[in-house]
Amino acid sequence: MTATATRPLTVTDAIETRHSIRKFVQQPMNADDLREILRLASLAPSAWNAQTWRFAVVQNPEVKEQLQAAAYGQPQIGSAPAVIVVYSDMEDTLDTVEDTAHPGMGEEGRAGQRKTFNGAFGGQDVAQRGQWGLSQANIAFGFLMLAARGLGYDTVPMLGFQPDKVRELLKLPEHVQFAGLLPIGKRAEDGFPHHRHDVERVTTFY
Ligand SMILES: Cc1cc2nc3c(=O)[nH]c(=O)nc-3n(C[C@H](O)[C@H](O)[C@H](O)COP(=O)(O)O)c2cc1C
């Protein structure tokens, strides 16, 4: 049996009820919901609309097992029906940069987009511009967690893994950078209550 989203949560409810969940109900992800969550995450903003993020969805149990091994055996990977690997590919972004120019801007916009990116990143090395690409992908990573929660799913963001092993497993080029792994499914536990600094501790009003 698969799960289907009922009514989407409000943004406020999605934020309030998102907790890191490390034990999931053992049922496959609904394919339509998964696709919709990825579509919503793709609506994240990015500088110059670069959209550097890329997603690899792992559902195959054998691949998931190897992913878990690359993540120091963290069991939430094996527990989740799917794991979304979120990474940035700045080199692909640069190679196909015209695709990110808004169609309303026409040929002039496409040429302008190329010029902008060549000017900004032409003088940088792969690692340096890769870092910039990752800062954009991190925005989509945040959107992804809330989109999932909004449709009734749960996640746990993860950076505890060996990037080289994940690159090798998923046959990703060396230059890609990871925003994180995101096990996703329906919660089989409640997670911890929020424990956060209060607003005064982290904010200065001018
Ligand atoms: C970038 C990032 C990396 C994280 N890596 C891991 C991880 O490798 N393993 C894990 O169990 N939790 C990981 N977490 C989850 C945090 O421990 C969790 O978000 C934090 O304690 C706050 O709890 P909450 O998500 O339930 O609000 C990570 C969270 C973030 C944002």
Say if ligand 1 is within 6 A of residue 112 CB.
no
Token readout for 4 is 């289907």
Q: How far does the centroid of ligand 1 lie from the alpha carbon of residue 194, in Å?
A: 12
Give the β-pairing of 177-185 and 154-155.
antiparallel
Task: Give the amino acid at 100.
Answer: T
The per-residue pLDDT string of the chain (206 residues; one tens digit each, 9 = 90 and over) reads: 334 446 899 999 999 999 999 999 999 999 999 999 999 999 999 999 999 999 999 999 999 999 999 999 999 999 999 999 999 999 999 999 999 999 999 999 999 999 999 999 999 999 999 999 999 999 999 999 999 999 999 999 999 999 999 999 999 999 999 999 999 999 999 999 999 999 999 999 99
Say if ligand 1 is within 6 A of residue 186 CB.
no
Ligand 1 test: best mutation among 86, 144, 146, 156, most atoms within 8 Å of CB?
156
Say if ligand 1 is within 6 A of residue 157 CB.
yes
Q: How far does the centroid of ligand 1 lie from the alpha carbon of residue 21, in Å?
A: 9
Does residue 49 come out as left (phi exceeding 0), alpha (psi in the -120 to 50 range) or beta? left
To the question of domain 3-189 being in CATH 3.40.109.10, the answer is: yes
User: Is residue 3 within 8 Å of residue 26, measured between CB atoms?
Assistant: no
